[in-house]
Amino acid sequence: MNISRTDLQAALERVVQIALDRNDHLPELPVVQMNQNTDQAETQLLTSRLPTTGQPLDKTFDQVFDSVLKEAPNANGPRFFGLITGGTTPASIVGDFLATLYDLNVALHLPKETNAVTIEQLALDMVLDLCQIPREAYPGKLLTTGATASNTMGMMIARQWVGKKRFNIDIAEDGFCGKVIKVIGGRAHSSVIKAVGVAGLGRGNYIDVSLDQRGYKWDLEKMETILKAQRNGDSEGSIVVVGCGEINTGGFTADIDKIRALCTQYDAWLHIDAAFGLYARAMPSHAAFAANIEMGDSMTSDAHKWLNVPYDCGLFYTKHIDMCSEVFGGAKSAYLDTGKTSIPQPLSVGIENSRRFRALPLYMSLLTYGAKGYQEIFESNCNFAVRLGEWIDQHPDLELLAPVYLHTVLFRVSAKPWAHPEGNDQFIEAIKGTEKAYVTKTVWDGQPAIRAAMSNWRTELDRDLPIVQQALEEALQSRTA
């Protein structure tokens, strides 16, 4: 069955219309519409059986639009502050459409055929430029599906390096040979712990040496004691993971230079998770928070968060691309062998073989906005967070739980009607129920709390702050004492 040109054109015109409508009206659309139906009722609207014969494209379009998209959360709108969501710049949306239209498989660097891999390297270098990190600090680089994948790569190559350096073993080839590799961190993001498990290091081997909830100060003496004992034996080594941007507060780990020195002294690998914190470096006002993040052996960041490109796009950087080749390039396959190239083959230095051309939206967005354009987005988001934080701090029924370091506001409801164990979650539901703002939950000081993270280029102080304040007031008033 062929889809006719006329039908394709009609569908594409609908897509263009949706793109323009969302561009014009995203700020006015409900941030989220809470579904009163149960999951089961929802599913009944969906076609669940594979049809034997197909149907016209416009019918499929209608079905999918009505059952999935019409009431979907407007997660790239300006008041969606859940997790760290990020929006989509128009340039990146166009780039993503184009990546789909050409559907290149960026598994191999074939410079005579396409410069897609070169563009990927350039985009990754431009992000370093944006963040005032010398390109030479991280000569090895690759796009991934997200910070979780980048953290996983980090743990996998760190493991390989520690195996070689400390025990002269090749873990990718021979396994752990009875050796144990600990992972030392401070309030590492849950995806790091996940990566530790996936890399076979054992989640139980994670040791937290932070002295506070935002992983700012570390017990460096304790860390050195662990590293020294390991060096005196011959069965244990270490990977150290620094978080650059704690998820609840946007707080940073201090003293990366001292941590680096200890890693160097004791042959430990330093991995830096800067999923969103990297971009502090693009703001003169905040750059000092993220000092020394060029000192990692490997570094993670995200583009689908604060760089405002569509999912999925993560960044991975390393000083040791040779470790990537050892881990990911070991299983040779004749039909994929293209010999030596100036840029390593993506499939030989990363997790995936087949890969989407996800560099294109990123590259197009970086060129279109430039360093100044991105700096403005970051500064505007941080300024919004500060102003929202001030307002919450002065509100009698709300409690600000930490200073606003970057673009995240951490708070809690303190008004009486919500003062019970489920109160925080119910208050979050009440905020979402206003359809004006979206926030998500966390735990702080062992108690339920609320995070609101600003990371969308569309968020505007003048328009959006009053709406968010109104949403919080409405939520508060939805329950009276």
Which of 244, 472 has the CB closer to ligand PLP?
A: 244
Which of 147, 366 has the CB closer to ligand PLP?
A: 147
Q: Is 456 helix (H, G, I), strand (E, B) or coil?
A: coil
Cα separation of 406 and 388, whole Å? Answer: 12
Pick from 22, 76, 29, 20: nearest CA to 457: 76
242: contact with ligand PLP by CB under 6 A? no
Q: Is 31 helix (H, G, I), strand (E, B) or coil?
A: coil
DSSP alpha helix (H) spans, 303-358? 321-328, 346-349
The CA R_g of the chain, rounded to the nearest whole Å, is 24
Residue 465, both tokens: 């702050």
Q: What is the DSSP code (8-state) at residue 300?
A: E
List 236, 302, 326, 464, residue binding ligand PLP (CB under 6 A) = 302
Rounded least distance, CB 322 to ligand PLP, Å:
25
- Binding part of the chain for ligand PLP, among 18-26, 174-182, 242-250, 437-445 by CB under 6 A, reads 242-250
Phi, psi for residue 236 in degrees, rounded to 5:
-130, 145
Cα separation of 191 and 324, whole Å? Answer: 20
List 148, 152, 345, 455, residue binding ligand PLP (CB under 6 A) = 148
Distance set, CA 50 to CA 46, 54, 379 (Å): 11, 9, 49
Rounded least distance, CB 304 to ligand PLP, Å:
6
List 215, 237, 245, 350, residue binding ligand PLP (CB under 6 A) = 245
Pick from 231, 213, 218, 304: nearest CA to 260: 218
List 314, 361, 389, 448, residue binding ligand PLP (CB under 6 A) = 314
92: contact with ligand PLP by CB under 6 A? no
Count of residues interacting with ligand PLP (CB under 6 A): 14
Cα separation of 352 and 414, whole Å? Answer: 47
List 153, 156, 241, 247, residue binding ligand PLP (CB under 6 A) = 247
List 191, 230, 238, 365, residue binding ligand PLP (CB under 6 A) = 191
Rounded least distance, CB 312 to ligand PLP, Å:
7
84: contact with ligand PLP by CB under 6 A? yes
Cα separation of 316 and 151, whole Å? Answer: 8
Which of 96, 273 has the CB closer to ligand PLP?
A: 273
296: contact with ligand PLP by CB under 6 A? no
Using alpha carbons only, give the angle 362, 363, 369 rounded to the nearest 5 degrees.
85
Cα separation of 392 and 411, whole Å? Answer: 8
189: contact with ligand PLP by CB under 6 A? yes
386: contact with ligand PLP by CB under 6 A? no
250: contact with ligand PLP by CB under 6 A? no
- Binding part of the chain for ligand PLP, among 116-124, 145-153, 384-392, 430-438 by CB under 6 A, reads 145-153
Cα separation of 427 and 187, whole Å? Answer: 26
214: contact with ligand PLP by CB under 6 A? no
| Residue 180 exposure: Cα atoms within 13 Å on the Cβ side | 14
344: contact with ligand PLP by CB under 6 A? no
Cα separation of 95 and 359, whole Å? Answer: 9
Which of 167, 269 has the CB closer to ligand PLP?
A: 269
- Binding part of the chain for ligand PLP, among 19-27, 271-279, 400-408, 434-442 by CB under 6 A, reads 271-279
| Residue 392 exposure: Cα atoms within 13 Å on the Cβ side | 27
Which of 275, 439 has the CB closer to ligand PLP?
A: 275
Rounded least distance, CB 480 to ligand PLP, Å:
36
- Which residues would be at the binding site for ligand PLP (CB under 6 A)? 84, 146-148, 189, 191, 243, 245, 247, 273, 275-276, 302, 314
